Amino acid sequence: MRVKCDYCGNYIEDTDKNCPRCGAPNDRMQRSGTKVPKTIEELKAFCASHHLPLEQMRFFLGEDYREPRAFGIYKDGEGNFVVYKNKSDGSRTVRYRGTDEAYAVNELYQKMKSEISNQRARQSKGGGKQSGGKSKSKESGMSLVAMLLAVYLGINIIPKLINRFVPDPPPTGYYTYEDTYYYNQNDDWYYFDTDSGSWSPTEVPATLGDNYAQYFESSSYTGSEAPQDFSESAYYVEPDYDEDWDDDDWDWDSSDSWDSDSTDWDSDW
């Protein structure tokens, strides 16, 4: 939200620490608190306040990290914010590239949340202790093997199978295919109808639906993605920035190790 600087009257973002024109402090600056961070710097501060081990988590904030097995966000030389994942083989998948910093930060923020949930679930499964007994029977030994096999499958195999047969939905944003502009929102497709000069729901060609990454243009509107900003259409829905976690849910105990090997590094996201 834009607010007026108390000193020079210039309109600035409520996330600005200082007025870009006169340099005066913004007394109405909105800090993230329990809300989703809106800038890379806010995300850094958020992670530090919750003791998140970013290096062990393999999250790189404000850095174009090029080594395998990494999530990250940075601002490129053209002013775009890039959210990426480097797979285990070193290849890169770009989740978002555009000028909307808040959107980009939220994409990585939600991925962090997912990874923390997965880590806690895995630690919870492996945290139990054996009770007493002079010896283990063959039956109990087999049960332990079966349990360990089930845990291994649940952590390493099943997620990859799900990802293979149930791929991630296309990112929200603009696409261009055969001189037609498309927009994806919440896994629903729309196209720009040049006759009516507006957006309309549609079923996309199979080539676009199956290979959407090749035709992705941008998640934010700059004027070249389509004749009309999709946010001005009747079908636009405000993004729902998920804030259902309390601050305490993010806290990470420094005594707990982070197992980055358990992350599915072969999926696109």
Residue 130: count other Cβ atoms within 10 Å of its Cβ: 8
Q: Which residue do the tokens 């005594």 mark?
A: 255
Q: Which of 88-97, 172-181, 212-221 has the lowest mean pLDDT?
A: 212-221
| Torsion of Cα atoms, 219 then 221 then 225 then 228, to 10° | 130
Higher-scoring residue by pLDDT: 200, 216: 200
DSSP state of 117: H
pLDDT at 216: 86
Sign, Cα dihedral of 30, 33, 38, 39: positive
Residue 27: count other Cβ atoms within 10 Å of its Cβ: 9
Choose among 117, 116, 71: nearest CA to 96: 71
Choose among 20, 18, 49: nearest CA to 32: 49
Choose among 221, 247, 245: nearest CA to 232: 221
Q: What is the pLDDT of residues 162-198, one digit of tens each?
A: 555 555 678 888 999 999 999 999 889 999 999 999 9
- % of the chain exceeding 90 in pLDDT: 44
Are 97 and 80 within 8 A, CB to CB? yes
pLDDT at 237: 83
Report the alpha-carbon distance of residue 146 to residue 259 in Å, rounded.
Answer: 22
Q: What is the pLDDT of residues 39-58, one digit of tens each?
A: 999 999 999 999 999 999 99
Q: Looking at the DSSP assignment, which residues form a beta bridge with residue 189?
A: 184
**Averaged pLDDT, 125-138:** 48
Q: What is the pLDDT of residues 229-268, one digit of tens each?
A: 998 898 988 766 555 677 778 888 877 789 999 899 999 8
Higher-scoring residue by pLDDT: 140, 25: 25
Are 158 and 151 within 8 A, CB to CB? no
Q: Which of 28-32, 52-56, 151-155, 249-253 has the lowest mean pLDDT?
A: 28-32
Phi then psi dihedrals of residue 226, to 5 deg = -170, 160
Res 111 pLDDT > 50: yes
pLDDT at 197: 93
pLDDT at 122: 77
Residue 155 pLDDT level (bands cut at 50, 70, 90): low
Q: What angle do CA 200, 185, 77 make, to 5 degrees?
A: 115
Number of separate helices (H) and strands (E) present in the chain: 7, 11
- Say what the pTM is: 0.56
Average pLDDT across the chain, whole number: 82
Higher-scoring residue by pLDDT: 4, 110: 110
Report the alpha-carbon distance of residue 112 to residue 36 in Å, rounded.
Answer: 12
Report the alpha-carbon distance of residue 118 to residue 263 in Å, rounded.
Answer: 9
Measured between alpha carbons, how far apart are the two ends of the chain, in Å?
30
| Torsion of Cα atoms, 35 then 39 then 41 then 42, to 10° | -10
